[in-house]
Amino acid sequence: MGDYPIRIKGYPLVAKTLSFLGADPQFVHNRNMYPTRILLADDHALVRAGIRNALEGEASLQIVGEVGDGPGLIQALEDLRPDLLLIDVTMPNFEPVATIHRIRLRYPNMFILVVSAYDDDVYVQGLLRAGVNGYHLKDQPLSDLRLAVERVLTGKRWISSSLVDKLIQPTEAIQPDTPKLSSRQIDILHLLSKGLDNRAIAAKLGLSVKTIETHLTRLYRQLNVQSRLEAANFAHEHPELITRAAKNAAPDNQLLLPQEQQASILIVDDNQRYRQQLRRMVGRIYPQAMIYEAANTQDALHLVQRLSPQLVFVDVVLGDESGIRCTRQIKTQSHHSRVILMSAYPDREFHRLGLEAGAKALLDKKDLDAATLFQIITDAIE
């Protein structure tokens, strides 16, 4: 709505204005005298600690409780009656949309801000319709989280900026002014942008140098460029072209890895939905790989002992377990396994501890697109 240009005096008029904006007037009036009581709901203790650290410096905010599952949340809401619920709706024993709808009906004056790693536009729209006041993505800076809380508490709707475009235009179709390239051209453009020469590209894709030269001639024409450098610049200016095409390509037109190489890849993440998403992406890029999943350290170590996988993806937070400790145990058990740590909340301390534990890298989950995975898998199997 924006700020009103006129000065309003007197609580009744202020209350009326705030009510119009969707805020509870009595609550907003009392915020000047009492701190806002916040309940944190997230099944990852490390994530809750990060959010607490981000908000505790605000004198007007008071975190009154933390919960990690659905039943605990319902009880805490009844006992604590918070002003703001800050929640990751993918907790155990919690059905997101239906339960949020019931919570909204029972606590109509409580603000609800979802903090999630998922950016699926249908999922977001369902929660907004159920009555949440905002949806914040975990991969955004913690300073943005403080801003999200502030905006929600003034009665305004908050949606992370990266979600706005998806909600307005949810399809991932490449825009009409972007050249339509074949999967093979996408493969070549990606490798060219990495600095590979024709011979190296031919070796990567299992083609002859002459075939690569023919593809490049057509590629330059479609991109309307005259040189290798201009084509590389085009790729860097349109990263979505490579990412989207690689993700949506059919199985017989994938980014090609050496066919004689067999690899076992292990994905360790306590979130089943994310494991399956990552498994599908890896499977598209490297169909001949044997892909395994584990939800906790114990299952991961059992698989590592049995398989000695070449590549292991490990989430930094495994429920109440530490993915960094899991990494250390994996490296102790299988020295040659290459471990890549992942996090929805990348942090310098996580990075330092992860490398000390033997991980090759700590990556932001939102950066694990098809092009990045292709490079990681190629490095691991070669």
Question: Which two three-digit tokens encode residue 293?
Answer: 């999943």
> Residue 19: inside a domain, yes or no?
no
Establish if 11 belongs to a structural domain.
no
Is 175 part of any domain?
no
* Residues 44, 131 within the same domain: yes
Residue 170 in this model has a pLDDT that exceeds 50: no
pLDDT band of residue 135 (cuts 50, 70, 90) is very high
Write down which residue in 140, 168, 196 finishes a domain.
168
pLDDT in tens, 334-369: 998 999 999 887 778 888 899 999 999 898 888 787
The model's pLDDT over 77-108, given as tens digits with 9 standing for 90+, comes to 999 999 999 999 888 888 888 889 899 999 99
The DSSP H or E segment spanning 68 is none
Q: Where residue 301 sits, what CATH number does that domain have?
A: 3.40.50.2300
Q: Which of 22-36, 80-94, 317-331 has the lowest mean pLDDT?
A: 22-36
Residue 15 forms part of a structural domain: no
Residues 106 and 149 in one domain: yes
Higher pLDDT: 378 or 225? It is 225
**Structural domain tally of the chain?**
3
246 and 294 within one domain: no
163: Cβ–Cβ under 8 A, 6 or more apart, which residues? 119, 121, 124, 135, 137
- Tell me which of 12 and 227 has the higher pLDDT: 227
Do 76 and 122 fall within a single domain? yes
The residue type at 118: Y
- For 184-215, give the secondary structure using H, E and C: HHHHHHHHHHCCCCHHHHHHHHCCCHHHHHHH
Final residue before a domain boundary, out of 168, 197, 218:
168
- Average per-residue pLDDT for the chain: 79
Tell whether 161 and 50 lie within a shared domain: yes
156 and 78 within one domain: yes
Question: Minimal CA–CA distance to 381: which of 300, 217, 262?
Answer: 262
pLDDT for the residue 167: 65
**Residue 21 placed within a domain:** no
Say yes or no: 83 and 134 in one domain.
yes
CATH number of the domain where residue 224 is located: 1.10.10.10
Q: Distance between CA 134 and CA 114 in Å, rounded? A: 6
In a domain, residue 212? The reply is yes
Please give the Cα distance from 145 to 113 (Å, whole number).
Answer: 10
Query: How many Cβ atoms sit within 10 Å of the Cβ of residue 75?
Result: 12
Residue 159, CB half-sphere, CA atoms under 13 Å: how many?
16
Angle between helices 121-130 and 96-106 (to 10 degrees): 20
Q: Are residues 162 and 278 in the same domain?
A: no
**Direct distance between the N- and C-terminal alpha carbons of the chain, in angstroms, rounded to an integer:** 56
Residues 108 and 224 in one domain: no
pTM above 0.85, yes or no: no
The H-or-E segment that residue 339 falls in is strand 338-343
Mark whether 39 and 163 lie in a shared domain.
yes
In this structure, are residues 121 and 129 in contact, taking their beta carbons and an 8 Å threshold?
Answer: no
Q: What's residue 200's pLDDT?
A: 84
Tell me how far apart the alpha carbons of residues 283 and 70 are, in angstroms, rounded to a whole number.
33
Q: Tell whether 22 is covered by a domain.
A: no
Residue 28 confidence (pLDDT) above 80: no
Domain-ending residue, one of 203, 232, 253 = 253
Residue 363 lies in a domain: yes
145: domain range? 35-168
pLDDT at 138: 84
**Domain co-membership, 70 together with 161:** yes
Shared-domain flag, residues 218 and 286: no
Exposed e or buried b per residue across 21-55, where buried means at least 16 C-beta atoms within 10 angstroms of its C-beta: eebbbebbeeeeeeebbbbbbbbbebbbebbeebb
